[in-house]
Amino acid sequence: MDKYLNQLSKTYKNIQEVSEEIINLQAILNLPKGTELFMSDIHGEDEAFSHILNNGSGIIKSKIEDIYTKTLTEQERKDLATLIYYPEEKLNLIKKSRDNMNEWYKITLYKLIEVTKAVSSKYTRSKVRKAMTKGFDYIIDELLHLQGDDINKEQYYNQIIDSIIDLNRADNFIIAISELIKRMAIDHLHIVGDIYDRGPGAPTIMDKLINFHSLDIEWGNHDILWMGAASGNEACIATVVRICSRYDNLSTLEDGYGINIRPLSVFATETYKDDKCENFIPRNKEVSKYSNTDKMILAKIQKAMSVIQFKIEGNLIKKHPEYKMKDRLLLDKMDLEKGTVKINNIEYKLNDTNFPTINPKNPYKLTKEEEEIIERLKNSFMHSEKLNRHINFLYAKGHIYQNFNSNLLFHGCIPLTEKGEFEEIEILGKKLKGKELLDYIEQIANKAYFAENKEENQDSIDLMWYFWCGPKSPLFGKDKAATFERYFIDDKATHKENKNPYYTFINDENICNKILENFGLDIEEGHIINGHVPVKAKDGESPLKANGKMIVIDGGFAKAYQSTTGIAGYTLTYNSHGLVLAMNEPFESKSKAIEEGLDIKTQTILKENIVNRKRVADTDIGKKLKEEIEDLKQLLSAYREGNLKEKI
C-alpha cells in the first residue's frame, strides 16, 4: 500500500487536492445512474441500427415531448427530432425550402440548447464538457449553464447565438450540439451478439461501434464465425462466404472488406453452367431486381461454396472425433445413382444430384480448383486490413458473457442437462460447466486469433468452427445445423434442429436464479439478458421469461427474421428509474426518416420501475469510485499524520 500511496501522491500532491477529489467523487456517487441500451441480433441491418442509436432508443423523442408538447405542433416536434438524428441531411433539406435561414437558426438553436439541458442533467459538468465537439465546447458549456434571470447574462447568451449565426457557423454548431445530445442520451451500449450476416451493413455497424463512446459486446455465434474466419479457419471462411451469397451480401465481402470473389464466381459459373441451382436462389425480398443471369450467378456461387463447406467440415469432423459430430458426415451417405441420402438409417430422396466436384469414392476431397479457391479466400480474410481492425475491436470490447450492474448478458445459452443441471462439456481435455466453461471458451477464442504460432494452436483455431455450430457450444445451443438437409432434402422433418434443454427451462425462475448465482450475481436484483432465438411475437410469445427474471431481446431485427417474429426487434433500456423494454416496428428507410420525419414506432411492453431511484453509487462504476475514495482517504491520513510530505 505504501508504494501505491506514493504513486497516488504524484497525482494528488497535497491535502487540498486530495480533499477536492474526494468531495468530487462523493458527489458523483449521488448522481442518477446513466442510461444503458441493450440490443442484440443486429445482423447487418445498419440503417435501423443507426437510427436507434440516433434517437437514443426513443429517449430523445421523449425529452422533446416533455419540453415542447404544449408549445410546438406534432410536425414541429418531429422536425426537431429528425434534425438531431440527421443534422447534416436535414439542414440540406431545410435550406431548399427557406430563403432566409437566420430567424430559423435563432429559434432552432434555443430549442437545441433546451433539449441538451434535459438529456445532460444527470451528468457532471465535466463529463458533459468532455463529450463536446472541440472548438464549440466552451460556447456550448456557457449556453448550458445560464443561471436564473440575470439580464446581463441573458444579453450575453443572445449575443453568443447571434455571433454563431453572423459568422456562418450555425450549421456546424447544430451538428456539434446534435452529436452531444445523442452522446448524452445513451451512457453505455450493450450489443448482445450477432452483428454479422443476413443484412448488408455489418462493416458500417462495426465502424459506428468503434466510434461509440462506451460499450461492450457479447459474442454471438455469427460473430464467432467471422472471428474464426479471420483466424484462418477454412470451415468458417467457407460458411461466411456461403451465407453472404445466400443473403445476397457479397458486397460485405468485396466492398466492405476487399475480399476478391471473382475466382469463386468464375469457378462456380463454369462448374455449374448447366445447373439451374433452384435451391440456391438468394434469400432476399429484393432479388427480383436482378436479371436472370445475375440471379443464376449468385445461385451458382452459393452452391459451389456449399459443397466446399461440406467437404471442409467433413474433414474437420473426422480430424476431431471428440466433437461427436459424425451425424454431420453426409456426403459419403449419398447414393447419386439412386438419388438418395441415408440419415440415421433412413433413406431420403435428394432434390439435387448434380455434384460434379464430388468423387463418390472420396467425397470429402477438395478438387485442385476448390483448394485454390479456399486458399485465396483464406489469404484474403487473414490479410484484410479493415476486417482485422474490426475483429481486433470485437476482441477488445467483446466477451462471451458480461456481468454488468447486476445483469448477466450472453447471446446463446448455458448448456443444461434434461434435469436442469449444468452440463459438463469436455474441451481440449478439460471438463467444464457453467461459468468456468464460458471462461475457458473465451481463452480459446483469444488464443485462436492472437497466437503467433498458428500451427501449435491449430486445435484452438479448429474449435472456432465448433463454437459456431457444435452441438454443445453455448453460442449455438442446438444439436445440429441442418444446412445440408435444408438444401437437398424436401422432407422438413429432417430440417429440425433440437435446442439445448436450456431453452425448455428459461421460464423456470429457479433455474434462472441458479445461473445468476453461478455467475456471482444477486438473484433478487439480477436479470439474464439473452439474444439468439427470435421471439415469435406474432404468435403471442413473450420476451419476458421466468416472471421477468430473463429477458430475450431477439425479436427479429434482421429483415430475414421479421416474417417469423412479426416485429423488428426489441430494445431494452436501463436507467435510474428501472428497465424499459420496447417492441419495434420495421424501420422503413433513412431517406423517409429525413424527408418525412418517420421514426421507428415502438410499443412499451415492460416498465419495471425501481422504488428507490438508482444512483451511480449503486452501479459497478460506483463500486470502483468507492474504492478510489477509500484509497484517497488513506492518502489524506498519510499527509495529515506526516507519513507522506505534501508537495507544493
Which residue would you say has higher pLDDT here, 136 or 416?
416
Helix or strand run (H / E) with residue 399: strand 398-399
Mean pLDDT for the stretch of residues 543-561: 89
**Sign (positive or negative) of CA dihedral 392, 247, 326, 219:** positive
Q: Is residue 137 scored above 50 in pLDDT?
A: yes
Q: What percent of the chain has pLDDT over 90?
A: 78
Write the CB contacts of 51 (distance below 8 Å, at least 6 apart in sequence).
85, 587, 590, 593, 599, 600
Distance of CA 460 to the CA centre of its chain: 24
pLDDT of residue 609: 78
Tens of pLDDT, residues 516-531? 999 999 999 999 999 9
Q: Is the pLDDT of residue 455 over 90?
A: no
Contact 53, 566 (CB under 8 A): no
SS3 32: strand
Q: Could you give the C-alpha distances from 403 to 4, 322, 391, 476, 511, in angstroms and in order?
A: 28, 31, 22, 20, 18
**Residue 383 grid coordinates:** 490479410
Q: Is residue 510 over pLDDT 90?
A: yes
The predicted structure's pLDDT at residue 59: 93
Distance CA 383, CA 229 (A): 11
- Asked whether residue 558 carries a pLDDT value surpassing 90, the answer given is no
Tens of pLDDT, residues 592-633:
888 888 787 777 877 777 778 999 999 999 999 999 999 999
Does residue 335 sit in helix, strand or coil?
A: strand
- DSSP annotation of 505: S
When pLDDT is cut at 50, 70 and 90, the band that residue 537 belongs to is confident
What is 423-439 written as a DSSP string? PPEEETTEEE-HHHHHH
Q: Is the model more confident about 290 or about 8?
A: 8
pLDDT score of 595: 84
Per-residue H/E/C for 600-630: CCEEEEEEEECCCCCEHHHCHHHHHHHHHHH
What would the DSSP string read from start to end of 122-180? TS-HHHHHHHSPTTTHHHHHHHHT--TT-HHHHHHHHHHHHHHHHTT-HHHHHHHHHHH
Q: What is the mean pLDDT of residues 481-489?
A: 97
Torsion angle in degrees (nearest 10) through CA of 618, 623, 628, 629: 40
Among 24-38, 85-99, 206-220, 282-296, which is the least confidently predicted range?
Answer: 282-296
Mean pLDDT across the chain, nearest whole number?
A: 93
Q: Is the dihedral of CA 300, 302, 308, 310 positive or negative?
A: negative
Whether the pLDDT of residue 566 is over 80: the answer is yes
Name which of 456, 451, 426 is nearest 441 in CA terms.
426
Question: What's the confidence (pLDDT) of residue 637?
Answer: 94
As a whole-number percent, the residues of the chain with pLDDT over 70 amount to 97
Distance (Å, rounded) from C-alpha 567 to C-alpha 521?
32
Say how far apart CA 259 and CA 253 lie, in whole Å: 5
Tell me: pLDDT of 259 over 50: yes
| Residue matched to cell numbers 508504494 | 3
Q: Per-residue pLDDT tens for 179-236?
A: 999 999 999 999 999 999 998 899 999 999 999 999 999 999 999 999 999 999 999 9
- pLDDT at 408 > cutoff 70: yes
CA distances from 20 to 12, 17, 412, 641, 648 (A): 9, 5, 46, 19, 15
- Residue spans of alpha helices (H) in 365-490: 368-383, 385-397, 434-450, 458-469, 483-488
Q: Which of 19-33, 35-49, 88-102, 561-575 is the least confident region?
A: 561-575
Task: Give the pLDDT score at 433.
Answer: 97
Helical segments of 71-124, H only: 74-85, 87-97, 102-120
pLDDT computed for residue 288 by the predictor: 46
Read off the pLDDT of residues 64-77 as tens digits, 9 standing for 90 and up: 999 999 999 999 99
Task: Identify the CA nearest to 32 among candidates 578, 525, 614, 607.
Answer: 614
Residue 40 has pLDDT above 60, yes or no: yes
**Res 580 pLDDT > 70:** yes
> 615-636 burial string, b = 16+ CB within 10 Å, else e?
bbbbbebbeebeeebebbebbb
Q: Find the range with the poorest average confidence among 49-63, 280-294, 364-378, 412-426.
A: 280-294
User: For 328-350, how does the pLDDT look when each residue is reduced to its tens digit (9 = 90+)?
Assistant: 999 999 999 999 999 999 999 99
Of 268, 518, 492, 496, the C-alpha closest to 370 is 268
What does the pLDDT read at residue 287? Answer: 46
